[in-house]
Homo-oligomer: A and B are copies of this chain.
Amino acid sequence: MPVSENTGIQAFPNGARSQRVHESALTAAVELLEEGGLTAATCDAVSARSGVSKATIYKHWPSKTAIAAEAFGRLMGEALPLPNTGSAVGDLTEQVRQVSAFYAAQPVFAQLLAACVTDPAAAPYFRHFFLAGRREAIATLWQRAVDRGETKPSVDAETATDILFGPLIFRLMTGHKPLTEEEADKIAAAALGGLLR
Contacts and interface: CB of A to CB of B under 8 A. Distances in A.
Interface of A: 110-111, 113-118, 120, 123, 126-127, 131, 135, 152, 154-155, 158-160, 162-163, 165-171, 173-177, 186-187, 189-195
Given A118-B111, A193-B194, A194-B191, A167 B163 contact: yes
Given A111-B118, A170-B165, A154 B190 contact: yes
Nearest to A152: B193
Nearest to A124: B175
Contact of A114 (B118, B152, B190, B193): B118
Contacts of A117: 110-111, 113-114, 173
Copies in the complex: 4
Contact of A123 (B116, B127, B155, B175): B175
A97 to B, nearest CB: 15
- Decide if the interface of chain A is mainly helix, strand, loop or mixed: helix
A104 to B, nearest CB: 14
A193 B190 CA distance: 9
A190 B113 contact: no
A142 to B, nearest CB: 12
Contact of A174 (B126, B186, B190, B193): B126
24 contacts: A111-B117, A113-B173, A113-B174, A114-B115, A114-B116, A116-B174, A117-B173, A123-B175, A127-B176, A131-B176, A135-B176, A159-B167, A159-B186, A162-B177, A163-B166, A163-B190, A163-B191, A165-B166, A166-B166, A169-B169, A169-B170, A169-B173, A190-B194, A193-B193
